[in-house]
Amino acid sequence: MSFTEKEDPKTLVLFDVDGTLTPARLTISDEMTKTLEKLRRKVVIGFVGGSDLSKQVEQLGPNVLEDFDYCFSENGLTAYKKGQELASQSFINWIGDEKYNKLVKFILRYLSDIDIPIRRGTFIEFRNGMINVSPVGRNASTQERNDFEAYDKIHHVREKLVDALRKNFADFGLTYSIGGQISFDVFPTGWDKTYCLQHVAEEKFEHIHFFGDKSYKGGNDYEIYSDPRTIGHAVNSPADTIKILNEIFKLDEVTI
C-alpha cells in the first residue's frame, strides 16, 4: 500500500483533531474539508487523536477512513492505513483489573470531594487504549464545556487532580495528558501520540509534519510536536491550520 499517486509521497502531514481540524468536539468545516482535499493530492495525510473512532467520525464525517490516508484513534492504539485496520493495543490488558480498580476508586473519590459549579455525567470514559477523566463530565453541553474551561484556567482543577494521581500512583507507569476543554487522558507511558509513528515507520517518510493546538508541555500534543522525527507546527484554531498549510504547501495552486 504505497502512496506513489501523490506529488510528494515521502511527506506525511499529521493533524490533531480538536482545536486543529475542528473546533473542540464540533464538526469539520467545508473550508477545512476542501483544504485537506487539496493537500492530499500533494502529500500523505492523517489524523491522530485521543478519542475513539466513533467520536472522530462524528467530527470528521462518516467517510474518515477514505478521506485520510492514516487514521489514528486513541493515539494510534487503533490505527488504519488506506482504510485497512492495523494492529491494536489494550489498556486494560496492560494494567490489569486490580490496579485499574484502585485507580478508578481514587479518581471517583477525589471528584466527589471537590467543589465545582456544575457536574453532568460520564466522569470516567473507558477506552481501548486509555481512560479519559472529566471533572465536569463528558455529557456537558458545548456551553457548559466552555464555562468549565474558563473555570479551570483559574482554578486548575484538572492540573491538581493530575498532580494527585502522579503522587499516589507513581509506580504504575502512567502518563497524564491534559487536552481539550474538560478532560485529561491516562495511559501507559509511551502510549502518547508518538505511539502512532511506529505505524508509519515502514514508509520511510523524509518529512513528517505535525499540527496541534496543545503543543505546550503537559498538553496532549507536546510529545509528538517536540519529537525529533517530526516538524511541529503549533496552531490556535482550525483557521490557523489552514493559513499555515496554504503558506507551506502552496495550496492555492491546487485545483479540485
| Nearest of 188, 186, 121, 183 to residue 157 by alpha carbon | 183
Catalytic residue among 18, 69, 185, 192: 18
Catalytic residue among 16, 52, 185, 192: 16
Number of alpha carbons in the 13 Å side-chain half-sphere of residue 64 = 26
Spatial neighbors of 256 by CB under 8 A, at least 6 apart, are 34, 37, 38, 41
What is d(CA 18, CA 44) in angstroms, rounded to the nearest whole number?
20
**Is 18 designated active site?**
yes
Identify whether the C-beta of residue 56 lies closer than 8 Å to the C-beta of residue 64. Answer: yes
* Residue showing cell 453532568: 120
What is d(CA 143, CA 149) in angstroms, rounded to the nearest whole number?
10
Give catalytic residues, as residue numbers. 16, 18
